[in-house]
Amino acid sequence: MFTGIINDLGEVIEVLEKDEELRRMTVGCGYNPESIDIGASIACSGICLTVVDRGRAGNRASFSVDTAAETLRATTAGNWRRGTKLNLERALRLGDELGGHMVSGHVDGVAELTARENLPDMARLTLRVPAGLARFIAPKGSVALDGVSLTVNEVEADTFSVLIIPHTLKVTTLASLSPGARLNLEVDQMARYTARLLETVPR
């Protein structure tokens, strides 16, 4: 589990095609490599991935993850290349502060940025969600975009907007986004399970 509070910015430094359905990616990061356990989970731009190797690349730490065909198809990971910047978050530990909201790292779909409005020290992003996911998004509710926990501002049909504060612009990849960008979207877990329960209530 994660909280959607980004604690490092990583960069893809190597992509290896293991076979047609598996791609290994090495990510440079600011973590102490000795603190990264093989088998640990790290959210990479919102995708929960398992560490399969760790070490150093030049003067920085690195870890490697395997991305399978379903992940490559259903998320933005299929477009990651050398130099791609990633929002990173270590898995939540018992006793850690829950500063954002509960995030699983299981991406529900890919949202498209349709508009960006730069405000004094902030930015308003408007995004379109895939069919079927709009019903899980509500004003003042929570979403994770590329792993960042955000509060929904306005909702209209299949679009919604969020306000990005200066700190978030500074410490995540959201500052560099422009219309047309695609982001990994995870809807609020409570909304997902509530909808499922309502579907199973006898009528």
Task: List the CATH code of the domain at 8-90.
Answer: 2.40.30.20
**Residue 106 known to be catalytic:** yes
pLDDT of residue 123: 97
Dump pLDDT digits (tens) for 35-50.
Answer: 999 999 999 999 999 9
Percent of the chain with pLDDT over 90: 79
Nearest partner of 80 among 164, 182, 148, judged by Cα: 182
- 109-200: CATH topology is Elongation Factor Tu (Ef-tu); domain 3 (2.40.30)
Catalytic one of 2, 63, 136, 160: 2
pLDDT at 203: 64
Whether residue 196 has pLDDT greater than 70: no
The mean pLDDT value for 14-39 works out to: 92
Query: Which one of the listed residues 106, 115, 175, 194 is annotated catalytic?
Result: 106
68 annotated active-site: yes
CB 85 within 8 A of CB 149: no
Question: 26 an active-site residue?
Answer: no
**Active-site residue 69, yes or no?**
no
Quick: pLDDT tens for 111-147. Answer: 999 999 999 989 999 999 998 899 999 999 999 999 9
Pick the catalytic residue: 48, 111, 123, 144?
48
Q: Which is catalytic among the residues 35, 50, 194, 195?
A: 50
> Which of the four pLDDT bands, split at 50, 70 and 90, describes residue 199?
low
Residue 58 has a pLDDT of: 82
Has residue 193 got a pLDDT over 70?
no
Query: Is 48 labeled as catalytic in the residue annotation?
Result: yes
Q: What is the reported pLDDT for 28?
A: 97
What pLDDT sits at residue 197?
64
> Which residues contact residue 140 at a Cβ distance below 8 angstroms, ignoring those fewer than 6 apart?
151, 152
- Active-site residue, from 68, 69, 115, 175: 68
How would residue 18 be classed by pLDDT, with cut points 50, 70 and 90? confident
Give the Å distances, CA to CA, from 193 to 47, 176, 199, 203: 20, 33, 10, 18
Query: Which of 151, 175, 194, 195 does the annotation list as catalytic?
Result: 151
For the segment 51-77, what is each residue's pLDDT rounded down to a tens digit? 999 999 888 899 999 999 999 999 999
Q: Which is catalytic among the residues 3, 26, 41, 172?
A: 41
Give residue 195's pLDDT.
66
φ and ψ of 32, to 5 deg: -75, 120
**Does this chain's domain 8-90 share its CATH topology with 109-200?**
yes
The yes-or-no answer on residue 75 being catalytic is no
Q: Is there a catalytic annotation at residue 2?
A: yes
Which amino acid is it at 192? Answer: R
160: pLDDT strictly greater than 90: yes
Domain limits, the chain: 8-90, 109-200
